[in-house]
Amino acid sequence: MIKIDLDNLPQHIAVIMDGNGRWAQQHTIGRIRGHRKGAQAVRTIIKSCREIGIKHLTLFAFSVENWERPVEEVNALMSLLEEYLTKEINELHKQGIKLSFIGDTKRLNPAIREKLRLAREMTSKNDKMILNLALSYGGRDEIIHAVKKIVSDHAEGKIAVSDITKENFNKYLNTAGMPDPDLLIRTSGEYRISNFLLWQMAYTELYFTKVLWPDFSKDDLFMAIASYQKRERRFGLTSEQLKEENIRTGNRTNV
């Protein structure tokens, strides 16, 4: 069992769950079955994060670019999503998890949208952990959407140019009200961001592992958190400044 410091957890973990297709190939089964196995790993990771006290978990389940995959695969992913929402919602609710969704969910079919609405409504009062699913999500699309809304609010006199600050810009994003991710995990050995949370990841610690998503276990999660806890997050400052700041405020960091 990997040791982690429960007093120094990332408050927000984001995950690019990649490698279902390659996992299926390794097991000489179809990609769809790889996705099904990936859904099991989702279950495990949510439960583990909830148990140790992670407050926000964002999972990249379907990107806006993924719509371009073969129609059979897109349909299978959508059925799997619908099935997942139907089967898991009671358990998530029981665990005190609040569900939220980011992305262009209007592109999802009406049955799924209705499930999202119900899940959001049912779990809205829960406060143990926020599970944020990125569906039909694209970071650049999100930023453009925010810019359009700011321009239209400006035209209506709702926001002055001088009020377009980093803090206010955050309010126009899908993730409004959520802290930025402290830790990003990407599985499957790819070293890229793939249009995920571009604005929000300005100072996120990145962790890449070769493990394919369906194999990603609680130990792998703990390994990622342990790596995060060894890092010094400097936010542009010097190490000495951070230490002085810590002595002054008595704050903990990952030093």
Sites of contact with ligand IPE (CB under 6 A): 16-22, 60-63, 66, 77, 188, 190, 192, 194, 213
Task: Name which of 91 and 190 has its Cβ closer to ligand IPE.
Answer: 190
Q: What angle do CA 141, 144, 150 make, to 5 degrees?
A: 140
Distance CA 171, CA 249 (A): 29
The nearest distance, CB 202 to ligand IPE, in angstroms, is 20
Task: Name which of 18 and 142 has its Cβ closer to Mg ion.
Answer: 18
Question: Catalytic site residue 18?
Answer: yes
The nearest distance, CB 73 to ligand IPE, in angstroms, is 8
Binding test (CB under 5 A) with Mg ion, winner from 9, 12, 17, 18: 18
Contact yes or no for 79/108 (Cβ under 8 A) = no
> 233-241: long-range contacts (C-beta < 8 A, 24 or more apart)?
233/203, 233/205, 235/203
| Secondary structure (3-state) at 120 | helix
Stretch that binds Mg ion, among 14-22, 115-123, 133-141, 171-179 (CB under 5 A): 14-22
Number of residues that bind Mg ion (CB under 5 A): 1
Which position has the token pair 């000495």?
Answer: 240
Question: Catalytic site residue 8?
Answer: no
Which of the choices ligand IPE, Mg ion, none does residue 22 contact, using the CB cut-off of 5 to 8 A by kind?
A: ligand IPE
Pairing state of beta strands 129-137 and 183-186? unpaired
Cα dist from 240 to 8, 51, 232, 244, whole Å:
20, 35, 11, 6
Task: Name which of 198 and 237 has its Cβ closer to ligand IPE.
Answer: 198
When CB distances to ligand IPE are compared, the closest residue is: 21
Which of the choices Mg ion, ligand IPE, none does residue 205 contact, using the CB cut-off of 5 to 8 A by kind?
A: none
Please pick, among 7, 8, 20, 66, the residue that the annotation labels catalytic.
66
Distance CA 109, CA 75 (A): 10
Contact yes or no for 235/214 (Cβ under 8 A) = no
Please pick, among 8, 18, 126, 153, the residue that the annotation labels catalytic.
18
Contact yes or no for 101/135 (Cβ under 8 A) = yes
Q: Which spans of this chain sit near Mg ion (rule: CB under 5 A)?
A: 18
Residues designated as active site? 18, 66
